[in-house]
Amino acid sequence: MSKPADEVIARYLAQRDASRRDAVAELLAGLTEREFLLVKEAAVMGWVQGMRHHDLTFPGDANALITVVDACIAFADRYPTITNYQTED
């Protein structure tokens, strides 16, 4: 691939990463303190339970929370409680 194309792709991926970080931060900012703690504890426990048989280092509570909430946003229809996803009737 040419150098300009690589730069365009890298810039696009950086913009998408920033957009996803902003979406996670916005979702978390809209939660009450109790909701935030519930989501955090569920995300961390889900991560721990899901990865307990894999030889992976735990990324820490904050990184697990961000990763799980990002996945919830990516599949909003599957996690409507977190994302406020509305089906069209």
pLDDT higher than threshold 70 for residue 61: yes
CA dihedral 71, 77, 79, 81 (to 10 degrees): 140
Q: Which residues contact 80 (CB under 8 A, 6 or more apart)?
A: 86
- Taken as a whole, the chain contains a residue count of 89
pLDDT higher than threshold 80 for residue 36: yes
Predicted local confidence at residue 14, as pLDDT: 95
pLDDT higher than threshold 70 for residue 32: yes
pTM for this one?
Answer: 0.75
Q: Which residues contact 85 (CB under 8 A, 6 or more apart)?
A: 76, 77, 79
